[in-house]
Amino acid sequence: MKSITAVVTAFLEHRSSRRNLKALFRLLFLLFSLIAIYSVLFHVLMEAEGQHHSWITGVYWTLTVMTTLGFGDITFAGDAGRLFSVVVMMTGVMFLLVILPFTFIEFFYMPWMRAQEAARTPRELPADTRRHVIFTSHDPITMALIPMLEKYGHPYVILKPHVAEALELYEQGIKVAVGELDDPLTYERLRIKRAAMLVSTRSDVVNTNITFTARELNGHIPIVVAASSDEARDVLELAGATLVLRLEEMMGQALARRVVGKDSAAHVIGRSQDLWIAEANVAGTELQGRSLANSKVRSRTGLSVIGLWDHGRLATVEPHTMILRHMVLMLAGSEEQIASYNRIFSRATTERGHVVIVGGGRVGRITSKALQQAGIEPVIIEKAADRVVNHPEAVIGDATRMETLKAAKARDAASILITTHDDDVNISLTIFFRRMRPNVQIISRCTLERNVRTLHRAGADLVLSSASMGANTIFNLLRKSDHLLLAEGVSLFPAPVPHSMQGRRLADCAVRSETGCTIIAVETDGERVINPDPDLILPYGGRMLLIGTLEAEESFLKQFRPELDAKALRRRWKKRED
């Protein structure tokens, strides 16, 4: 019954179906009229031949001939009757070829197909839907964010204005809904009053309309939108946006920070209450070439070195781990400890290497400006002269041509930054520059998350993904807890002290060597110990903060099996958030 109801509803909702229903009635009227006329003519011709039949026989003969089932024992003897039989037969064939397929397709098959499409691409979410994330596009940021939401149990839906687009996503296993982006009714049907967040990464104008429409319906929901300029950001904030992402600016600043020789200061990338996470370049400091034990970072600053970025991979550290020039330290500690690190180590950086930026788009220009503010004079290589009109440091030409490279002094560069928006071009340029300069630092921008590893294989020392940056920022705003996603998929997450670890020395648990995670804080009775000593006895009923890659987090939860499973832990911290 539900299936029949869905088919009928899908049929009646379409104006074309109602129009076709009227056409069917006209065809049926014509058919019955022809049956009546043919039955009368049958009697006239039979009477002319001297044969007598009842009116029921006339209708029976007409239907038998029109459906091509045969004549039986009722036939005409003369040519006029036989010619009439041919006309009736041809009329019947035409109606069989038109009415039956039309009726089946339009009133049975198509309503069923539309009902199936409506079930797969609903226009309204169930009434009990809550704490879900609404997306208005399926772009690289959304693609990077969806696996995070699924992993941590956050429901989501992607709003599409067209059924065909929604069905394409549905076939990929993605939850979708159909509705107009600027219609308040659409967001009411998507239960925006009970949603956890709205994310819109479309054009500035569309984002403004979506933000204003959604904000009128829910004055408290976090709304995250993307903007292409400072002016657009101001308008979006006036429309009611909670967070406006300037991805080009974020990418440009991040690229500039990662340049070897820019500075060696510790830059904060995340925090959880009084625990701060920072990154610091090794190049130009007294740390390069030393082992972790000999560096004495912890004894001199109080910070813990929780990992080393080595060619895009976060490597775990041991006392004998060597700190090399191209590496980036990941540090954890208090704000005061980070300030202490900067006083001790950042003074040693005096190197100012030549930097070449390939690509003069928005990201390239922002990167150049950030480097200039840091005291480095970069050179931009750009094909289109109109993009770099206000940048006298730019060289116009193809980055793969020798005359262009000579003008940009690429052979003298300490770092080459590849900032075009096309991942395929970036991969090609990375291979080219790596073959030309085996020892130069190559940092590349990436749009799609799946191309990060490809760029590393091509020879990039570091790859920064705009999708990952945007997804991490949105996810952290959504969580609002001790669980943070940091750069390049590194996760800071809480966990209760497992029963197998309670009452034992921290050093004896071997968490780092067995899982890749590092315990950076231990909390009990409301008191938090940052960078706990290896001799610390883990408390009963306590809580830990750990840091590691997403794979390391899964390994920890699987191997040590905290007293609360992951879902129960999320529920506990959800209650604390509320």
Per-residue model confidence as pLDDT tens digits over 214-226: 999 999 999 999 9
Report the CATH number of the 133-245 domain.
Answer: 3.40.50.720
The arithmetic mean of pLDDT across residues 428-455, rounded, is: 90
Domain 481-577 listed as CATH 3.30.70.1450: yes
Which range (343-352, 398-407, 540-549) has the least confidence? Answer: 343-352
Supply the pLDDT for residue 189.
Answer: 92
Question: Which of 459-465's residues contact partners 24+ apart within 8 Å by CB, and which partners?
Answer: 459/430, 459/431, 459/433, 459/434, 459/435, 460/312, 460/418, 460/430, 460/434, 461/311, 461/312, 461/326, 462/258, 462/309, 462/311, 462/312, 462/328, 463/312, 464/251, 464/254, 464/255, 464/258, 465/144
The residue among 352, 403, 409 whose CA lies nearest residue 380 is: 409
pLDDT confidence tier of residue 58, bands split at 50, 70 and 90 = confident
In angstroms, the CA 392 to CA 380 distance is 9
Q: What are phi and psi of 463, to 5 degrees?
A: -125, 125
Which range (127-136, 164-173, 188-197, 265-274) has the least confidence? Answer: 265-274
In angstroms, the CA 282 to CA 305 distance is 12
Percent of the chain with pLDDT over 90: 25
More confident residue, 173 or 258: 173
Supply the pLDDT for residue 395.
Answer: 92
The arithmetic mean of pLDDT across residues 159-186, rounded, is: 89
Domain 2-120 listed as CATH 1.10.287.70: yes
Which range (78-92, 139-153, 311-325) has the least confidence? Answer: 311-325
Q: Please count the other Cβ atoms lying within 10 Å of the Cβ belonging to residue 512.
A: 19
Q: Please count the other Cβ atoms lying within 10 Å of the Cβ belonging to residue 73.
A: 4
Prediction pTM value: 0.69
Supply the pLDDT for residue 576.
Answer: 44
The arithmetic mean of pLDDT across residues 238-253, rounded, is: 92
Q: Say whether 262-348 and 2-120 share the same fold.
A: no
The residue among 232, 182, 189 whose CA lies nearest residue 210 is: 182
Report the CATH number of the 354-467 domain.
Answer: 3.40.50.720
Average pLDDT along the chain: 83
Supply the pLDDT for residue 15.
Answer: 59
Domain 262-348 listed as CATH 3.40.50.1820: no
Which range (8-17, 160-169, 178-187) has the least confidence? Answer: 8-17
Torsion, CA 259, CA 260, CA 266, CA 272, rounded to 10: 50
In angstroms, the CA 149 to CA 471 distance is 10
pLDDT confidence tier of residue 568, bands split at 50, 70 and 90 = very low
Distances (CA, A) of 307 to 313, 487, 544: 10, 12, 18
Q: Where are the domains of the chain?
A: 2-120, 133-245, 262-348, 354-467, 481-577
**Alpha-helix residue ranges (DSSP H) falling in 265-305:** 292-295, 297-301
Supply the pLDDT for residue 572.
Answer: 45
Q: Please count the other Cβ atoms lying within 10 Å of the Cβ belonging to residue 16.
A: 9
**Contact yes or no for 321/306 (Cβ under 8 A):** no
In angstroms, the CA 523 to CA 539 distance is 8
pLDDT confidence tier of residue 517, bands split at 50, 70 and 90 = confident
